Amino acid sequence: MGGLYSVAFAKTAPEVLGCTSVDRHVYLWNHVTGQQISKLGGDKGHQDEVNGIDFHAGQQVMATASDDSNAIIWDFAEGIPLRTLKHPEKPVYGVTFLGKDPERQYFVATCCFDQRTRIFDMRDKKVVTTLDGHTDDIIGIDYATQGLLATGSDDGNILIYDTKTWKLLHRLECKVDLSAETEVQRVEMATCWRRPARRGAC
């Protein structure tokens, strides 16, 4: 299989685990039994290293991102590609679906080495919007159910966007706290977080 770049659990099939590989394929496993379910790729799949993977929260589809400048939407139950989302000739490193609510259930976000984040409608492959703000390769991307999208970049910053307005809400400058060599490689949004209660509070 070569090196493995990313893993994710299927949200609609909890026993399924997907992983992406340097060998240009995507592997699906039943992590309960330890058996391989399928190996996806070939002529209709990715043609270079596969970097990122995400599963839809309400549909039996997954998305993968690759150095071949494409993201692919798959029917993972049938093992077939449904849509290819093309980018400029730069690696696509991350991909995430924007939940299952009616407004965003068909949206998928990708991050690319051209320093841009794109929101696609996976039904017709059109770009809904393009988000700028980073000054180097974008490596990490994640969505939170409260309608936030986070991206992490080699520029050392994390950007957080409002997915209702596509406005930039926050810029977290990690180099300020760490070092001038800091690169943000991956980000993940907490699905449920509560501020710790103050002492004496109910």
Asked whether residue 30 is domain-assigned, the answer is yes
Select from 77, 58, 72 the least CA-distant residue to 25. 72
Pair 107, 97: CB distance under 8 Å = yes
d(CA 55, CA 68) in angstroms, rounded, equals: 20
Asked whether residue 145 is domain-assigned, the answer is yes
Say which residues have a Cβ less than 8 Å from residue 174's Cβ, sequence separation at least 6.
156, 157, 158, 182, 184
Asked whether residue 199 is domain-assigned, the answer is no
Asked whether residue 190 is domain-assigned, the answer is no
- pTM to 2 decimals? 0.86
d(CA 76, CA 153) in angstroms, rounded, equals: 29
Whichever domain contains 65, its CATH number is 2.130.10.10
Asked whether residue 170 is domain-assigned, the answer is yes
Looking at the DSSP assignment, which residues form a beta bridge with residue 65?
A: 52, 71
Residue 174: the pLDDT is 78
Query: Residue 189's pLDDT band (boundaries 50, 70, 90)?
Result: low
Asked whether residue 195 is domain-assigned, the answer is no
Tens digit of pLDDT for each residue in 34-93? 999 999 999 999 999 999 999 999 999 999 999 999 999 999 999 999 999 999 999 999
Query: Residue 152's pLDDT band (boundaries 50, 70, 90)?
Result: very high
Residue 200: the pLDDT is 41
Number of structural domains in the chain: 1
Asked whether residue 112 is domain-assigned, the answer is yes
Query: Residue 187's pLDDT band (boundaries 50, 70, 90)?
Result: low
Say which residues have a Cβ less than 8 Å from residue 155's Cβ, sequence separation at least 6.
134, 135, 136, 183, 184
Structural domain of residue 89, as residue ranges? 4-177
